[in-house]
């Protein structure tokens, strides 16, 4: 059960989708789902609906709304195609920290006004590059975000990066879950250790789990790296996190 909505934002209008269980009655706890770098597409609609079916209203925005409306990967093409990759990296370059902050505010305002969403705290989850988005939203809005999760996240804690998450996680008040692929060149062990140390020093309630044998993108059904067992575990862990916090 989903509907398309448009969200006014400082930089334009965010096209987004709201997912609810088929048996939904009344407002439900809100969960924001940020897609991976491939943007809106069928496998993420399926993922959002699976989360919603556990009793949530899921808001899935188009992270690239500044550049394009709706799906960004042309039919019959793939993120792995060089011409598509270059376009998506260009779009992703517009997602500065300041732009993300403005988007977070717009999404929270939407949650506060749309009928599907209950009042109170929310959950947020991101994949690939948006695992960092989920943690930043939790850090920037600690009073609102009760749970933040990232799966096969990328570049969370590069050494000597002035914009690294290690500098902002200290404000997080919600619970954090990070599910990492153990064959992920985009998040090597030193970055995992660096972020874990920052979270621990800040006193954040967090869990880090290594998905043995999984590669980057293990939850994306349209990727060669898709791993059904790891994907099922991701849904189990996320459901547990949301149930215990929301």
DSSP state string for the chain? -EEEEEEEETTEEEEEEEE--TT--S-B-EEEEE--TT-S-HHHHHHHHHHHTTT-EEEEE-TTTTT-SS--SPTT--TTSHHHHHHHHHHHTT--HHHHHHHHHHHHHHHHHSTTBPSS-EEEEEEGGGHHHHHHHHHH-TTTEEEEEEES---SS-TT-TT-GGGTGGG--SEEEEEEEEE-TTS-HHHHHHHHHHHHHTT--EEEEEEEEEETTTT-TTSTT--HHHHHHHHHHHHHHHHHH-
The pLDDT of residue 144 is: 98
What is the C-alpha separation between 157 and 239, in angstroms, rounded? 26
**Distance between CA 222 and CA 184 in Å, rounded?**
18
pTM of the full structure: 0.96
Tokens of 139: 């850090």
User: Number of folded domains in the chain?
Assistant: 1
Q: What is the mean pLDDT of each run of 10 residues along the chain (246 residues)?
A: 96 97 86 97 96 97 97 84 90 96 98 96 98 98 98 95 95 98 93 98 98 95 94 98 98
Torsion angle of the four alpha carbons 236, 238, 241, 246, in this order, in degrees rounded to the nearest 10? -120
Domain holding 51, by residue range, is 2-245
From the number of C-beta atoms within 10 Å of its C-beta (0-12, 13-18, 19+), residue 48 rates as buried
Let me know: does 11 contact 66? Beta carbons within 8 Å: yes
Cα–Cα–Cα angle for 25, 142, 188, rounded to 5 degrees: 105
Q: Are 117 and 24 in contact (CB under 8 A)?
A: no
pLDDT of residue 231: 98
| pLDDT given at position 25 | 73
Residues 30 and 77: beta-carbon distance below 8 Å: no
Residue 80 pLDDT: 82
CA distance 149 to 134: 7
Q: What is the CA radius of gyration of the chain?
A: 17
- The pLDDT score that the predictor gives to residue 212 is 94
Read off the CATH number of the domain in which 65 is found.
3.40.50.1820
- Give the pLDDT score at 23: 76
């Amino acid at each position: 059960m989903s509907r398309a909505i448009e969200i006014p934002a400082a930089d334009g209008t965010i096209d987004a989708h709201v997912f609810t269980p088929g048996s939904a009655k009344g407002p439900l706890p809100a969960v924001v789902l940020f897609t991976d770098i491939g943007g809106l597409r069928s496998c993420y609609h399926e993922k959002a609906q699976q989360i919603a079916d556990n009793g949530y209203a899921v808001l899935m925005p188009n992270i690239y709304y500044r550049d394009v409306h709706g799906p960004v990967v042309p039919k019959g093409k793939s993120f792995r195609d060089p011409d598509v990759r270059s376009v998506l990296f260009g779009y992703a370059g517009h997602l500065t920290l300041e732009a993300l902050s403005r988007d977070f505010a717009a999404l929270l305002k939407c949650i506060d006004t749309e009928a599907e969403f209950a009042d109170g705290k929310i959950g947020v989850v991101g994949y690939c590059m948006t695992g960092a988005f989920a943690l930043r939203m939790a850090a920037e809005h600690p009073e609102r975000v009760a749970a933040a999760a990232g799966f096969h996240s990328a570049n969370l804690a590069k050494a000597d990066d002035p914009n690294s998450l290690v500098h902002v996680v200290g404000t997080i008040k919600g619970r954090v879950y990070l599910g990492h692929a153990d064959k992920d060149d985009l998040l090597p062990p030193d970055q995992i250790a660096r972020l874990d140390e920052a979270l621990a020093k800040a006193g954040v309630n967090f869990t880090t789990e290594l998905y043995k044998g999984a590669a980057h993108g293990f939850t994306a059904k349209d990727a060669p790296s898709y791993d059904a067992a790891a994907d099922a575990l991701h849904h189990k862990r996320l459901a547990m996190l949301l149930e215990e916090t929301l």
